[in-house]
Amino acid sequence: MKAQNRVYTREVKILHHTSGDKAMPEKITVIASYNTGFLIHAPRLPVEGETLMGSGFRMEHGGKGSNQAIQAARLGSHVHVVARVGHDLFGDRAISKWREEGIDHRAVVRDPEAPTGVGIIIVGPDGKNMIVVDLGANLRLTPADIDRYWEDSLSRPKVALAQLEVPVEAALHGLRRAKNEGAVTILNPAPARPMKPSELVGVDIITPNETEMRILAGEDPNSTTDIALLAERYLDSVNTVIVTLGEKGALIVDNRGKRILPPPRVKAVDTTGAGDAFNGALATALSMGLSVDDAVSFANYAGAYLVARFKRGELVESLATRDELEEFMRSANP
């Protein structure tokens, strides 16, 4: 049997808990961002001062943290989020969506001054786009917000996950609190910013893509420095660096060395959000007790499922449920 098939068999057993009974899901705490996306298609990208007639407008749920939390919840995790949204319609939509997905949102702060984060996306016919983002209330999340809700809602997770669409101080504070309680901690350093390895003490796993790995290490995004060498610089502070490589899968660098785990082959329709699907699934798999390698293989399937857009519609609605991902894994490993 191929190694990939062994991983598949183990993952299906865990998803179904061998006997078919659903055990109590493990808790995942997400220090999250939320943004409402406004997307419109245009015949071409506008120039300065120009008004174009567009089509296909839609309003979408977004934000890396929210996307990752929803993916984990869809795969069976008991997810708690801490975030800041505005006292506005879009904040109401965020909370309604988290409630719909079964996510505990008691630690979400309604900011009295800043609006809910938004992104405005204009898409041309060739797929090129123009994007403007206002992170709004996301940028006002504080360590005090995390502390305020820790004992009642956020404490004692099996896995804690954060990204950098919120202030880095809040993200790292939440991860370190979780680490002190024995959680596996994951930082998805996106959007990327340069960070010294010493800044990441308390983080077990970082999950940049290739460009983010270069920026994190202080390199030019277009540099040709070997990605594995850049990842190795961080092993004095973190246990594992997982660099997502798109259609090539994921590179794992840890004290065992380096290895690339390939994803299943799919026809990519839209790669937007693949990293969010990957991180949400990675957190779920680790909370279920999978090894890092097996968890990465599982996360590769979740990312591939999303980019293939087997479910049509907006990004969040295309994230796999546990049953959908299991069926996809079975079809990919007959």
CATH label of the domain that carries residue 105: 3.40.1190.20
Predicted confidence at residue 48, as pLDDT, reads 87
Q: Is the pLDDT of residue 71 over 60?
A: yes
Q: How far apart are CA 13 and CA 27, in angstroms?
A: 19
pLDDT digits over 276-320, tens only?
A: 999 999 999 999 999 999 999 999 999 999 998 887 778 899 999
Q: Is 156 a member of any domain?
A: yes
**pLDDT mean across residues, the chain:** 90
Of these residues, 204, 254, 276, 294, which one is catalytic?
276
Q: Which of 51-60, 173-182, 210-219 has the lowest mean pLDDT?
A: 51-60
Q: How many CB atoms lie within 10 A of CB 226?
A: 10
Whether residue 279 lies inside any domain: the answer is: yes
Task: Evaluate whether 108 touches 95 at the Cβ level (below 8 Å).
Answer: yes
pLDDT confidence of residue 303: 95
State the Cα–Cα distance between residues 229 and 148, nearest whole angstrom: 40
| pLDDT confidence of residue 332 | 80
Return the percentage of the chain with pLDDT > 70, whole number: 92
Sheet containing strand 184-188, strands side by side: 104-111, 78-86, 27-31, 159-163, 184-188, 205-206, 240-244, 250-254, 257-261
313 falls within a domain: yes
Mean pLDDT of 42-56: 90
The reply to whether 44 falls in a domain is: no
Each residue of 82-118: pLDDT tens digit?
999 999 999 999 999 999 999 999 999 999 999 999 9
Residue range(s) defining the domain that contains residue 185: 3-34+64-110+138-332
Position 245 scores a pLDDT of 95
Q: What token pair was written down for 257?
A: 């060395």
Let me know if residue 124 belongs to a domain.
Answer: no
Residue 195 lies in a domain: yes
Answer yes or no: 276 catalytic: yes
The pLDDT value given to residue 22: 52
Q: Tell me, yes or no, whether 119 lies in a domain.
A: no
Number of structural domains (the chain) is 1
Residue-wise DSSP of 65-127: HHHHHHHHHHTT-EEEEEEEEESSHHHHHHHHHHHHTT-EEEEEEEESSSPPEEEEEEE-TTS
* pTM, two decimal places: 0.90
At residue 103, what is the residue type?
A: I
In a domain, 251, yes or no: yes
Q: In this predicted model, what pLDDT tens digit does every residue of 240-269 receive, in sequence order?
A: 999 999 999 999 999 999 999 999 988 888
Q: State which amino acid sits at residue 32.
A: A
